[in-house]
Chains A and B, each alone.
Chain A
Amino acid sequence: MDEILELLEQNAKMTPEDIAKVTDKKVDRIKKAIKKYEEAGVIVRYKTVINKDLLKSDSEEIRALIEVNVVPQKNKGFDYLAEKIYRFPEVVSCYLLSGTYDLLLTVCGKDIHTISNFVAEKLAPMEGVSGTVTHILLKKYKEDGDILEQVERDKRIAITY
């Protein structure tokens, strides 16, 4: 993967000037490359990873992982049903997997009722869906490579040869 993308994937706040400082590339070239990636949809968007467990607010949310078994539609395969499912805004991720079930969803809602309503009213009755298993997420330890803990202090002695 292009070094520019690697850097932005790690830290979306890096400016073209910042990127130029850590690479051999010129600012203009970096700007052009980013524009190209944005236009081509390689860069989908810039987001911030937030550890919501550390927020003391009441805007809490609940997440569930849902295993879905589906009956693939003739001439449409899995994609047709997958799209019908992932278009729901409650679904924050949707993967097609090998193994004992077909789709794995991450569903997000403000409380357990939102999730159960989604499953009972939208997902389970959908034509082509033959079964679901819902797992409520209890604690996040690590997400997309980020360990969601309080920042650890540097344990090194401040100055050594």
Chain B
Amino acid sequence: MIKINKKVENIAPSGIREFFDLVIGMEGVISLGVGEPDFTTPWNICEYSIFSLEKGYTSYTSNKGLLELRVEISEFLNNSYGLQYNPDKEILITSGVSQGLDLVIRALIEPGDKVLIPTPSYVSYQPLTELAGGIPVLLNTKSDKEFKFTSTQLEKICKREKNIKAFIFNYPSNPTGVSYNEEELKSIAKIVEKYNIVVISDEIYDRLSYKFKHVPFPFIKNMKDRTVYLNGFSKAYAMTGWRVGYACGPEKVISAMTKIHQYNMLCAPIMSQLAAVEALKHSKSSVEYMVKEYTKRKNFLVKRFNEMGLKCQEPYGSFYLYPDISGSYNNSVDFAKDLVKEQKVAVIPGIAFGGIEGDKFVRVSYASNLKKLKEATNRIQKFLSSIS
């Protein structure tokens, strides 16, 4: 009889699998449940990659990824944020942030190590920690504090838990859309320094920051040496299917991550790496265009949801809203199920992202065009009228 690894078996199955199946099996659904851009990859990027295939670029690259791409990333980070990483030693090309995250967790976490994860959070942080034998320590954020944790709250939990090894920090956040400004980051930095915590900073939504200029965590004084910075091309360049991202950090960590990467992935696909080079070199205006579109949609949705009585805060970044549905339902899965059954609009139940208030919220993605968002909100309004 085949026995599955206990750690894998113990990973809780997604509580909303059934809901996902319901949505996928349904025709005519307007989905606000998609975690990727509705734009296709800018054509110059696709064309460059097609050309590279025609030229025969179909091989492996070095484990760390094409040097050309690492150099571009290094220059991009320096020009955009004043972040300096050595392309030879401090940058690793990964297959998206998802893989980068797994690599850094496995490179750092030993059985029993504590990993601090603010909730609600992206769905992979806890399972990946558990697979590595780590113990997730949850830092629950609350709606009355805009789903932001405060430095006091952070300090309290660090003190209580004593030996937290790593902190998985994601801003702008999926699912809540909150982000942190430079001052807030500085006070977080003081605490992680005091308690000697490594920060794994998932900043995949950095280009979608609406209220202030995004500041990367390693940019904060003394943080570069204790931060592994994760980013990629999926969201800003609408390149989710290409599976290409990068990790930047101290040489020691990047080299440990590369050890694992060389055995589990070998390298990110060359055509995607070349596409990423083109993205960094020539796609600024496409990114600006997409950000402008997301901004319009965000403005539209925030107003419409608040008008309909589904209270939601203005997101700081990403392309998600996190409206409160507790006025009409006390269970986010029921809300999402009834909404999709009655009006064929899909949203993700907040419970999927954990947190102590998960069931009071749903995640709404505005990675859909305005016409669809308008129709979707009209349908949601009909749904709300029918249940009140």
Question: Interface size for chain B: under 10, 10 to 19, 20 to 34, or 35 or more residues?
Answer: 20 to 34
Cβ-based interface call for A159 (8 A): yes
- B297/A21 in contact, CB under 8 A: no
Number of A interface residues, CB 8 Å?
A: 13
Chain A residues within an 8 Å CB radius of B297: 22
Say which one of B29-37, B75-83, B248-256, B278-286 lies at the interface with A.
Answer: B29-37
Cβ-based interface call for B370 (8 A): yes
- B299/A22 in contact, CB under 8 A: yes
Cβ-based interface call for B169 (8 A): no
User: What is the bound-complex CA distance between A122 and B202, given in angstroms?
Assistant: 67
Cβ-based interface call for B334 (8 A): no
- B33/A21 in contact, CB under 8 A: no
Which listed residue (A7, A21, A24, A156) contacts B36, Cβ 8 A? A156
Within 8 A of B (CB), among A107-161: 154, 156-161
Chain B residues within an 8 Å CB radius of A59: none
Cβ-based interface call for A23 (8 A): yes
Which of A158, A160, A161 is the most central at the interface, judged by chain B CB atoms within 10 Å of its CB?
A161
Q: Which residue of chain A is the closest to B302 with respect to CB atoms?
A: A21
Q: Which residue of chain B is the closest to A155 with respect to CB atoms?
A: B40
Cβ-based interface call for B300 (8 A): yes
User: What is the bound-complex CA distance between A157 and B370, given in angstroms?
Assistant: 19
Q: Which residue of chain A is the closest to B336 with respect to CB atoms?
A: A159
Which listed residue (B31, B296, B304) contacts A158, Cβ 8 A? B31
User: What is the bound-complex CA distance between A137 and B15, given in angstroms?
Assistant: 57
Which listed residue (A22, A23, A158) contacts B346, Cβ 8 A? A158
Q: How far is the CB of A62 from chain B (nearest CB, A)?
A: 30
- A156/B33 in contact, CB under 8 A: no
User: What is the bound-complex CA distance between A158 and B303, given in angstroms?
Assistant: 24
Q: Which residue of chain A is the closest to B363 with respect to CB atoms?
A: A161
Given A21-B304, A22-B370, also A158-B34 (CB < 8 A): yes
Q: How far is the CB of A147 from chain B (nearest CB, A)?
A: 11
Q: How far is the CB of A77 from chain B (nearest CB, A)?
A: 35
Cβ-based interface call for B53 (8 A): no
Please give 11 more A-B residue pairs, beta carbons under 8 A apart, in addition to A156-B36, A161-B124. A7-B296, A21-B303, A154-B38, A156-B31, A157-B24, A159-B23, A159-B31, A160-B36, A161-B123, A161-B348, A161-B352
* Nearest 6 A/B pairs, CB to CB: A159-B33, A22-B296, A160-B35, A158-B31, A22-B300, A21-B300
Q: Please name 27 pairs of A and B residues whose Cβ atoms are closer than 8 Å in the assembled complex, sorted by A.
A: A11-B370, A21-B299, A21-B300, A21-B303, A22-B296, A22-B297, A22-B299, A22-B300, A22-B370, A156-B31, A157-B34, A158-B24, A158-B26, A158-B31, A158-B33, A158-B34, A158-B346, A159-B23, A159-B24, A159-B34, A160-B33, A160-B34, A160-B35, A160-B36, A161-B122, A161-B124, A161-B348
